[in-house]
């Protein structure tokens, strides 16, 4: 009987401990395989500098996503959502149907059309946190945790968080452990296998 019990435990393939190792979920970060040729991504995929854009490594599959960007150094920059067809070497983005972005001047562009604009007294400055919510229809913007009531829509298909920089801008991406609490109903980006 003891031999049978030992054999049964030994067949588990883990030395008989009975534990099955859990697979660690990947971290959402900037994707160095989907970035412009003159872009530099550092700080474990969280900081972008150089010239051009970069997509995150996870599409926005869930219904309500939230993510943030901190402006470490001003210059030309933009943040928002884009499809994988976006030209990551073209700055500024928002010139075609493949990106919907807030630009450093406070304008929100999609398909070369200004969709909205931040209030005049709400221009993002160095050190500010830009929060973005996206619900597959509408993108909304937050500045230092405050809703800017600046919705924009129009992009179609599977989208990813996108950020672009130029002219010495440096931005940090925050896809979890946010500086500000996510708006009610919105949450960090989940990989597809985390949703189901």
Q: Is the pLDDT reported for residue 186 higher than 60?
A: yes
Place of tokens 């919510």: 133
Residue 162 neighbours by CB distance under 10 Å: 25
Q: Average pLDDT, stretch 123-132?
A: 97
Place of tokens 């970069």: 54
Q: Is the pLDDT reported for residue 5 higher than 60?
A: no
Q: Is the pLDDT reported for residue 48 higher than 90?
A: yes
57-75 tens-digit pLDDT: 999 999 999 999 999 999 9
The confidence band for 23, taking pLDDT boundaries of 50, 70 and 90, is low
For residues 160 and 82, give the distance between their C-alpha atoms in angstroms, rounded to a whole number.
5
Higher pLDDT, 15 or 59: 59
Q: Average pLDDT, stretch 108-113?
A: 98
Are 54 and 163 in contact by the 8 Å Cβ rule? The answer is: yes
Q: Is the pLDDT reported for residue 9 higher than 60?
A: no
pLDDT at 191: 84
For residue 83, how many C-alpha atoms fall within 13 Å in the half-sphere facing its CB? 13
Which candidate, 132, 142, 147, 141, places its Cα nearest to that of 189? 132
Check residue 137 and give left, alpha or beta (phi > 0: left; psi -120 to 50: alpha).
alpha
The confidence band for 7, taking pLDDT boundaries of 50, 70 and 90, is very low
Q: What Rg, from alpha-carbon coordinates, does the chain have?
A: 20
pLDDT at 6: 46
Are 98 and 29 in contact by the 8 Å Cβ rule? The answer is: no
Omega within 30 of 0 (cis) for the link into 92: yes
The confidence band for 192, taking pLDDT boundaries of 50, 70 and 90, is confident
Q: Average pLDDT, stretch 80-87?
A: 98
Q: Average pLDDT, stretch 130-149?
A: 97
Give the SS3 label for residue 10.
helix
Q: Is the pLDDT reported for residue 8 higher than 50?
A: no
Percentage of residues in the chain having pLDDT higher than 90: 83
For residues 180 and 164, give the distance between their C-alpha atoms in angstroms, rounded to a whole number.
22
**What residues does 118 pair with on adjacent strands?**
none
The confidence band for 196, taking pLDDT boundaries of 50, 70 and 90, is very low
Q: Dmax over Cα atoms in the chain, in whole Å?
A: 80
């Amino acid at each position: 009987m003891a031999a049978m019990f030992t054999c049964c435990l030994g067949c588990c393939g883990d030395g008989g401990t009975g534990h099955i190792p859990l697979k660690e979920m990947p971290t959402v970060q900037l994707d160095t395989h989907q970035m412009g040729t003159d872009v530099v991504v550092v700080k474990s995929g969280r900081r972008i500098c150089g010239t051009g854009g970069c997509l995150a490594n996870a599409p926005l599959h869930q219904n309500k996503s939230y993510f943030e960007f901190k402006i470490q150094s001003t210059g030309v920059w933009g943040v928002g959502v884009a499809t994988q067809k976006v030209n990551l070497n073209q700055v500024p983005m928002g010139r075609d149907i493949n990106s919907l972005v807030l630009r450093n001047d406070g304008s929100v562009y999609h398909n070369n059309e200004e969709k909205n604009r931040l209030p005049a007294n709400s221009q993002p400055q160095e050190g500010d946190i830009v929060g973005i919510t996206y619900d597959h229809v509408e993108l909304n913007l937050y500045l230092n945790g405050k809703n800017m009531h600046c919705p924009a829509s129009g992009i179609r298909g599977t989208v990813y968080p996108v950020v672009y920089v130029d002219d010495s801008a440096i931005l940090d991406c925050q896809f979890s452990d946010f500086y500000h609490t996510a708006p009610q109903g919105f949450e960090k980006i989940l990989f597809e296998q985390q949703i189901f």
